[in-house]
Structure 1
Amino acid sequence: MNEWVRLTQRVAWLTPSEETDRPGLGYIKGSEASAAVDGGNSLKHMRLFLKHLREERLAVPTFTFLTHWHWDHIFGLGALDNWIVASEETKKYMLPLQDQDLEQEIRESDYQIKEEFTDEFDVALRMPSIVYKERCVFDLGNLTVLAQWVESDHTADCSVFFVPEEKVLFIGDCLYCGADHGQYYLDRLRYLTLLKTLLRFPAELYLDSHRKPITRERLRADLEKVSRIAEVSVQYPDVGEALRFLEAENRFDVDDDVAFYLKAFENGEKRNRGFTGNP
C-alpha cells in the first residue's frame, strides 16, 4: 500500500509497494521550483503521486531526478511534461528501450513488476533532457539538491540526490546487489566504499527506494557489521565455515542477512576471477 508521508517541512515520500514492484517516490519543494525523485513503474503509479500533490496543494514537479534506468523507476515518466534529470550513463541505458517490445518481455517474464500490469500496460517513456557526468547542483529556491553518481554493483548508473538543508539523501537502489548469470553478487571493496561514501554526506535520513527510511545511526551500524562480515569472508572463503566462525565470535546475531552477504561476497569474488559457475 503506497502511503504519502511528510518527512520534513520540504521533503515528502510516497512509500514503496513490494507486491507490484513500486519504488518509493520522493518530492522536494523549493521556493522557486520543485522536483520528483524517480518516475514510477507505471502511469498509474505516477498519477497516484500527482493525486497526492493535488490533495496537499503542492506544485507539479519542475524536474524529475532519476536514480537509475531500471524499469520500475522510469515507466511512468510520461505522466509529466517536465525536465528529466539523469546521469549520462542512465540516459545511455534508457535510449535502447525505445526500440524494445517491453510489454511482451514483461508479460512473458516472472518479474515482480508484471503484477503492476494485470489489466493494461500503461507505460510512457520519456528521455532525460538534462544530463550530468558525475555530479550537478540544482537550486530550487532556498533549497539545494546535489546529484551525484556513485559506484554500485546494482547497476553502473546509480545516482544519489542530497538535500543538505533537510539532511535527506535519496539513495535509490544503490545498496542492492548485482546479478550475473542468475547469481547475485557484491564486490567487497566496492560495497564497503559505497557505504562509506553515503555516510560522508551529512544526512540524517537515507531513503532507499524499496525499504523503510534508514537513519544515520542504522547505516553506520550496518557498515560496522558488513565490514566484519567482509573480513571473515576473506579469512574463511567457505560460507559454512564463515558462518560457524561468526556464530562462535558472537559479535552480532548471525541471521539470514549475514548468510546473504557471505554468499554475495563469495559470488563477487568468483565473478572477479572470471568464474560464474555457468557454461
Structure 2
Amino acid sequence: MSAGTPLLQVDDIVVDYRPRRGRTGGPPAVDHVSLDIPRGRTLGLVGQSGCGKSSLARVIAGLAAPTGGTIRLGGAELPAPRGRTDATRIQMVFQDPGSALNPMHTVRRTLTELLLVHRRAAGRSAATDRAVELLELVGLGAAVLDARPRGLSGGQRQRVGIARALAVEPEVLIADEAVSALDVSVQAAVLNTLRDLGARLDLTMLFISHDLAVTRYVADEVAVMHRGRIVERGLPDDVLRNPRHEYTRSLVAATPRMDGPALSAPEEARPV
C-alpha cells in the first residue's frame, strides 16, 4: 500500500478475453492485479506492448467490464459498466489525439457540448468561457477555438484531448501512452503540461507508457507490468536504477537513456 490514503483502489482485477469454456492459450490479459494511487499522486505503469496495460486502463475508466475484481474510488465501489455520473469521475487521454477527436467538430464544439451535456456550464456563453479557461490551462488559448483537428499539430490535438478530459472535472486522469505518437520535442512540452496540471489541480493520475525514461520524469511511483501482472513497484529511481525483477532489468537494459526526452526543449510553436 502506498503512503497516504488511496483515492483509487484496484483490487484483484482480472480481464480474460478467452472463451469461458476451456480457457487455454496463456494467462488472462490482466491477471489478478491490485494497485492503489493516493490523492494527488501519479503512478506510472510501464511494460511492453501486449502486457495488459491498456486493458487494465479501460476497466479502470469504466470502458470495459472486468472478468473479476473490484475498483473503488474514495472508498466506494464503482459499478461496471458505469452510469453517466460515475463515468465522469475517471477520464482518459488516449494515445492517438487525431482519432480521439471528431474531425468534423471545432475545438469550441468539442468542449462546449461536453460542458453543457454534463452541466459544467450554464448556457453556451458560459461554456465558451470555460472552454477558453481549459485551453489556457493546457497551454493553448482562445485562438484554437474554431480550429478543427486537422488544422492543429499533434501536440495541440493532444492538449485539446487533455482539456476535454479535464472538462468534466474528473477525480482521476488516465494517460494511456499519451505522448508515444508525438515527436520527442513535442513529448517534452506535453509532459511538462501534465506535470504542471498535476501540481496545480492536485490531480491523481495513472500514467501508462512503454517508455521508462518518460515515466520516470512524470511519475511519483512506478509499477512494472509483465504478462498481465504487476511484478515490481516503488519509487522511480529505486525501480529503474536498481531493478529487482528480471523483467524490469531487461526493460532498463533496453533503454538507451534514462534522462527522458528533450525535457528542457522549448514549447512547440502554436500556429493554428
Give the TM-score of the pair, scaled to structure 1. 0.33
Give the TM-score of the pair, scaled to structure 2. 0.33
Report which structure shows greater RCO (CA 8 Å, sep ≥6). Answer: 2
